[in-house]
Amino acid sequence: MTATPGQNTQSSSATCLKKPDFRKETRLGLVLYGGVSLAVYMNGVCREFYNATRGRGIYKLIKALTDSDIVVDIVSGTSAGGINGVLLSYAVANSYEKIVVDFKEFGDIWRESGDINKLLRPIKKENNQTNVNSLLNGEGYYQEELFKAFEKAGNNQQSAPDGEWYSEFNELDLFITGTDVLGRIYKTFYNTGKVIEIKDNRCVFQLKYREDQDFGDPFSTTDKDTQQALAKLCRITSCFPLAFPVVPVEIKSDNKVDNQLQEWGKLLRNRILPQEPPKEGYKIYFVDGGVLDNRPFSYTTEAIYYRTADRPVNRQLFYLDPNPESFVDSTKFKEMEQPTVWEIITGSLIGLPSYESISKDLQQIKGINDKIRRYNLLLKSVDEEVSEQTTEAKNRYWRCRLVSLRDSVLSVIFDNQYFVGKEQEQEELLEKSASLLTQFINNSEEIKKREEPLNSLAQDVENLDIQYAIRKHNFLLSQIYSLISDAITKDTDDITKYTELKNLANKITSNSHFKK
């Protein structure tokens, strides 16, 4: 059957085949760079990732050939890439087997609403407009058009096309960068007790979608405040200085939209505020996230290791550079000429400080992959029978567990606004708690007398130490996945064994509460 452009081929028998129960899963992490000039191109690439999750066209064949579902579960973006990342996440989070928010509908944001003539700030002759601080109307037209796009998509969810092989998922993390103009100010101390004031202008907003969450859905199709917050977040990450005005976000206020941004960005965490509220209230001002963080790799790579699964997973990371640079073919590289004075000045003031290399990110990914390979190699060589630990080894082990538990609990307490700027009190509390927790273990003469209390303490720590429970949970699942892989990679698939192991993994995962 030959299809002409625009012809609907959904009735084809090939596209209406029932989706198989795939035994593996391919998970995609996506990093979207800034680059407004190629925003439409990036939007098209994001649309392909959306189509992959839906199993449309060629992606249905890819799923069949790889025996894998395909899901997008981690997205990070900056500037124009940040906007496309928000749009993609909104579409993915609100598309189900029968109902979809089709990502293709968001293309009009760039084709129609992105018209420069519409974005230009209107000139009003009746006043001098002396307070205008940007060329484009960011707080009015720009943000309002983004809000309308989210509102329209939420109100006009469509029936899914026939013949799709939709891949279900239960969690999605979106990371969007912004630049905090005033900076997050906090204090720390030298060992001598001298106070150091530190400023950090980087900011990242993390939006967590969980399928089973009861409230706080960051991609809600019905909550207008959430949709306004998403529109403002798009504006925050893409408000290029001079072209767009800075974006103010109120904190410690009753503004529901800004309160969501405050939560997503953890804007009050470890931040010192003026003791006396300013006349206009507490506000944080943002410009384009690409000013300091145009290639947000690290957030995606870190989030990968907090994922749960109920079958073998193939993890892939994609990064989308709308305008890849070529250095080897450049004249400067070939001729190696001494730069002129003007080139040195412009390079020192603009070029070099603004250039962001991804070499460290790629090295980090390579290092992580190497560690995983070594871990798997060592894991295979570990004896099945583990000898009983000596009392001394047990004590060292529990000492480490207790201190680790202390750090986990106190880190939550120290996030409280009371402890901001009081690092010396934090250090004292850490030392006192460590001494208190380990006093029964450190005294070797009393160890034998306290064997029973120690065993009781060990059980209590087991119940409290969530990080240990997560490690144990992930280790158990990794062992099951290894057995599943063995069952489906042999010359003759062991369907019975695969089914039993898959059901076991499903039970463990469904009863898990370890979704970050």
- Which residue, 74, 104, 110, is CA-closest to 89? 74
8 Å CB contact between 242 and 135: yes
- Which residue, 80, 7, 22, is CA-closest to 310? 22
Please provide the average confidence, as pLDDT, over all residues in the chain: 79
Selected residue with higher pLDDT from 336 and 350:
336
Long-range contact set of residues 466-474: C-beta below 8 Å, sequence gap at least 24: 466/408, 466/514, 467/404, 467/405, 467/408, 468/401, 469/514, 470/514, 473/308, 473/508, 473/512, 473/514, 474/308
Instruction: Please report which confidence band the pLDDT of residue 458 belongs to, taking 50, 70 and 90 as the band edges.
Output: low
- Which residue, 173, 211, 203, 216, is CA-closest to 86? 173
Within its chain, how far is the Cα of 132 from the centroid? Answer: 35
For residues 356 and 196, what is the distance between their CA atoms, to the nearest angstrom?
28
For residues 173 and 276, what is the distance between their CA atoms, to the nearest angstrom?
36
Instruction: Please report which confidence band the pLDDT of residue 5 belongs to, taking 50, 70 and 90 as the band edges.
Output: very low
8 Å CB contact between 56 and 154: no
Residue-range domain boundaries for the chain: 24-122+133-324, 327-380, 466-510
pLDDT for the residue 15: 47
Range in 99-103, 189-193, 232-236, 325-329 the model is least confident about: 189-193
8 Å CB contact between 428 and 194: no
Q: Which of 5-9, 59-63, 452-456 has the highest mean pLDDT?
A: 59-63
pLDDT for the residue 1: 36
pLDDT for the residue 475: 80
Q: What 3-state class would DSSP assign to 116?
A: helix
Selected residue with higher pLDDT from 450 and 233:
233
Mean pLDDT of 344-360: 71
Residue count (the chain): 516
The single residue of 73, 288, 293, 465 carrying the catalytic annotation is: 288
pLDDT for the residue 260: 95
- Check pLDDT > 90 for residue 414: no
Q: Give the DSSP H or E segment for 159.
A: strand 158-159
Q: Tell me the CA distances in angstroms from 477 to 203, 270, 385, one per residue in order.
A: 34, 36, 19
Q: What is the pLDDT of residues 284-313, one digit of tens each?
A: 999 998 888 888 888 888 888 778 777 888
Active site residue 288: yes
pLDDT for the residue 134: 77
Selected residue with higher pLDDT from 403 and 144:
144
- Check pLDDT > 70 for residue 225: yes
Token output for 135: 């060329």
CA-only gyration radius of the chain, Å: 27
Mean pLDDT of 413-424: 57
Active site residue 404: no
Instruction: Please report which confidence band the pLDDT of residue 504 belongs to, taking 50, 70 and 90 as the band edges.
Output: confident
Token output for 345: 């000045």
Mean pLDDT of 383-395: 57
For residues 347 and 28, what is the distance between their CA atoms, to the nearest angstrom?
36
pLDDT for the residue 11: 42
- Check pLDDT > 60 for residue 473: yes
Buried b (16+ CB within 10 A) or exposed e, 359-395: eebeeebeeeeeeeeeeeeeeeeeeeeeeeeeeeebb
The single residue of 68, 76, 79, 95 carrying the catalytic annotation is: 79
8 Å CB contact between 35 and 237: no
pLDDT for the residue 491: 52
